[in-house]
Each structure stands twice: as C-alpha cells, then as structure tokens.
Chains A and B, each alone.
Chain A
Amino acid sequence: MPGMSKSLPQLKIVNRLHVLRAEQRMTQEQLAKEVGVTRATIVAIEGGGYNPSLELAFRIARYFKTDINTIFSIEEEI
C-alpha cells in the first residue's frame, strides 16, 4: 500500500473521560455498564493505556450527549 513504508509519527490521544464522569458523579463501574464494557476498560481508557474503538468512543460521546472531540483529542506528536 502506498505510504505504508513511511514511519508516521505516533499520535498521543488524551481524553477527558474522568472529568466528564466526575461532573456526572458517576463511578467507573456505572459508566462501564452504560456503555457495555468492563470497569477495567474504563480504567485503561482513563489512564491512557487503551484507546477505544470508534464505536465505543461514539457510545461514550452519545452517553455524555456530546461529540467525540470534546472527550478525545490529540495532545502532541511523539
């Protein structure tokens, strides 16, 4: 595929999930249940250890009645 051999800079995706959750006074367990994942996954997303799929990102955004860019953004290029 064209461009596959190039080493692209890695993008660091940050999120405001813990902020939104705190605003709603929700536990990780509650949010996990609402969006259909495990609490460990919410912990991993908040800690930056896991970037959710587009589907899960949309589900989270829909739950908080906002758009994806409000929750997930690119902080810097590594």
Chain B
Amino acid sequence: MKRVDTILLKVFLYGIPVVAVLAVFAYLYSTGVVNHDTGYAKFANSFTGLVFAVWMTLAIYLSIRLMVSGPFREQVIAKITFLRERDEREAILTGKATKATFLTSLAILIFLFCLSCFQVSIYRVPPDKAVDGKTGFVTLGLSFSLLADDKQDRPADTIPKEHIFSYRGLPISSEMIILILILWHILSYNYSMRRLIK
C-alpha cells in the first residue's frame, strides 16, 4: 500500500505541470483560439479531458488517504515542502510552522468570510423620487446564504436607480478561493518552516 501511495503521489505531483499546460490548451480550445476542425486539435482536446479525469480521480484518492493515514501525511508533507522531520528540534519547528499556518489561514478565512457577506451599493434616484431632497444613496448590508443558489423572491425595484457602485460579495469563484487557500497553506508552511529552521 505504501509503495502504491508513493507512486501515485509522484504521478500526482509530477502531473501538476502537465495539467497546467493542458488547462491552458483547453482554455484556448474552448475560446476558439485553437481551430476545432483539425483532427489533431480534437484528439488533443479529448486527451486533455482524459488526463484531467485521471488526475482528478487521483486527487480524490490521495486526499482521502491524506485524511485517514498518518504515515501518508508525513510522506506528503516531506514531498510538498521538501522538508523532513529528522529530529526532535525539527518536529518542534514543524509544530510552530503549522501553528503559524493555521492562524494565518484562519485570519484569511475570517477576512474572506466578511468580504463575502458584506454588501455595498451606491446609487442615485431621479429628482422626483428624492427622499428629503436627497437623490444619492449608500446602502450597506450583510448577506449570508446557507446554499450557493439560494434564490429568493426579491421584490423588483420600483424606483429606477442609477447605480454608481455596487459590491455584492467576493467577485472570485469558489474554485479559485479554494485553490488560493491550498496554495496559501503550502507556501505559508514552507516559508514558516524555512524561517524557523535558519
């Protein structure tokens, strides 16, 4: 099992640059930059899909192994950070680096949570709809939805508004946020560990 995990982990890690290159190709293909009519492009697109599917399956398997296997976690941390706990001092430094990563990640998550809940809207209404003679408005709000597609029956605006600025939560996709957090975890741990080990 350990040998299989080692091989699969290597395939997964060495596959990252390949997946990145193929992702660029897939993007160019979907946007029409690459000609769809050539047989070569069609084959490359199908191959890209196959590689993505295999890599994602591998990612799911490895993430489950990472959750359930302690020795595998040790193996992974040595691979992704290029640092291994060789003695008790490095084990303590690992703990400190993990603590730093955990706390900074927590701070980022709280910050992102606030940004995703916060809503601002600045708008003007026609002079005949002015309230107390004022036509410019700033509305501040907080929004929290349990589900991603929590569509509610909101009443339509009865007053025509000229929106000047509108912010309704983070304009980044959830996939991008998760990817940023994964990269942050790896980079933050790596940086903390290297700083402490000096």
Contacts and interface: CB of A to CB of B under 8 A. Distances in A.
Contacts of A36: 87
B144 to A, nearest CB: 38
B90 interface: yes
Interface in A7-49: 36-38, 40-41, 44
Q: How large is the interface on B (under 10, 10 to 19, 20 to 34, 35 or more residues)?
A: under 10
State the main secondary structure of chain A at its contact with B: loop
A44 B196 CA distance: 11
State the main secondary structure of chain B at its contact with A: helix
B54 interface: no
A58 to B, nearest CB: 13
Interface residues of A, number: 11
A63 interface: no
A41 B88 CA distance: 9
Contacts of B90: 38, 41
Nearest to B93: A50
A21 to B, nearest CB: 17
B151 interface: no
Contact of B86 (A38, A50, A53, A55): A38
Contacts of A52: 88-89
B91 to A, nearest CB: 10
Contacts of A56: 88
B60 interface: no
Contacts of B197: 40
Contacts of A44: 89
Contacts of B89: 37-38, 40-41, 44, 50, 52
Interface string B80-99: 00000011111010000000
B113 to A, nearest CB: 33
Interface centre among A38, A52, A55, A56 (most CB of B within 10 A): A38
Nearest to A45: B89
Contacts of B87: 36-38, 41
Nearest to B91: A53
A50 B86 CA distance: 15
Interface string B170-198: 00000000000000000000000000010
Contacts of A55: 88
Given A41-B88, A41-B90, 6 more contacts: A36-B87, A37-B86, A50-B89, A53-B88, A55-B88, A56-B88
